[in-house]
């Protein structure tokens, strides 16, 4: 049995959607950030990084969203969530997901987690980082809008692990001070994803 450690609206949502997409049996374990559960001694035993997601499997524990996305796609090959036989197409999937992990997610984190990069007491530096988020995240999403989102799914006609990942970070647009109307293709993708039953189930289970 797989256990997903997640927090609602966090990046772990991408994995919860994939678990629902593939019809996996799994336990959803909620980590409450308002109670700092991610820093509890129990959770640090599971993920010393003090972050979600963490996926507990029979073989051991996995962290880092892009790695777990590929793991689940390989574990459930019948779902066809990655192009297993096409190295170039698979690299394009990885390229997209690496951009989310290394650029979009990191830019977003500058809004509320600036203390990862400067002293928590440096209010001016924290404010400068926070104030730049609408600019940096908008610039990153502009590339997704114009160059990276083939449509209707990220990779074109085929649904892949890129789609729940994009959906999850696109849910943060308003928080990051960006009007989704300024990104019509990303907004259409977000609406399409939200209408999927697997996404609805993932959201409901994450809140339980």
Ligand X SMILES: N[C@@H](CCC(=O)N[C@@H](CS)C(=O)NCC(=O)O)C(=O)O
- State the residues that interact with ligand X by CB under 6 A: 10-11, 38, 50-53, 64-65, 101, 113
For ligand X, which is the closer residue by CB, 10 or 136? 10
SS3 180: helix
H or E element in which residue 26 lies: strand 26-30
CB 180 within 8 A of CB 139: no
Distance of closest approach, residue 184 Cβ to ligand X, in angstroms: 25
Compute, in degrees rounded to 10, the torsion defined by CA atoms 137, 101, 4, 44: -100
First to last CA, the chain: 18
For ligand X, which is the closer residue by CB, 29 or 113? 113
For ligand X, which is the closer residue by CB, 158 or 171? 171
Nearest residue to the partner ligand X, using Cβ: 51
Distance of closest approach, residue 11 Cβ to ligand X, in angstroms: 4
For ligand X, which is the closer residue by CB, 3 or 158? 3
Distance of closest approach, residue 71 Cβ to ligand X, in angstroms: 12
Six-digit token pair at 7? 């927090």
151 preceded by a cis bond (ω within 30 of 0): no
- DSSP readout, 82-135? S-TT-HHHHHHHHHHHHHIIIIIHHHHHHHH-GGGTS-TT-HHHHHHHHHHHHH
For ligand X, which is the closer residue by CB, 34 or 78? 34
Distance of closest approach, residue 61 Cβ to ligand X, in angstroms: 13
Distance of closest approach, residue 117 Cβ to ligand X, in angstroms: 12
Classify the phi-psi angles of 151: left when phi > 0, otherwise alpha if psi is within -120 to 50, otherwise beta. left
Distance of closest approach, residue 58 Cβ to ligand X, in angstroms: 21
For ligand X, which is the closer residue by CB, 24 or 50? 50
């Amino acid at each position: 049995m797989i256990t997903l450690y997640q927090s609602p609206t966090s990046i772990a949502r991408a994995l919860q959607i994939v678990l629902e997409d593939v019809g996996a049996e799994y336990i959803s374990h909620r980590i409450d950030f308002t109670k700092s559960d991610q820093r509890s001694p129990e959770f640090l035993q599971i993920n010393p990084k003090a972050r979600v997601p963490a996926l507990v499997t029979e073989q051991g524990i996995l962290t880092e969203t892009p790695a777990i996305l590929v793991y689940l796609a390989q574990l459930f090959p019948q779902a066809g969530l990655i192009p297993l036989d096409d190295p170039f197409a698979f690299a394009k999937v990885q390229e997209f997901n690496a951009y989310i992990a290394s650029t979009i997610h990191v830019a977003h984190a500058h809004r509320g987690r600036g203390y990862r990069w400067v002293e928590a007491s440096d209010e001016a530096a924290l404010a400068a980082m926070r104030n730049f988020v609408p600019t940096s995240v908008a610039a990153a999403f502009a590339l997704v809008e114009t160059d990276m989102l083939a449509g209707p799914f990220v990779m074109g006609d085929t649904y892949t692990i890129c789609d729940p990942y994009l959906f999850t970070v696109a849910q943060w647009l308003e928080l990051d001070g960006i009007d989704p109307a300024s990104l019509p293709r990303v907004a259409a993708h977000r609406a399409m994803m939200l209408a999927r039953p697997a996404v609805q189930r993932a959201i409901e289970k994450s809140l339980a």
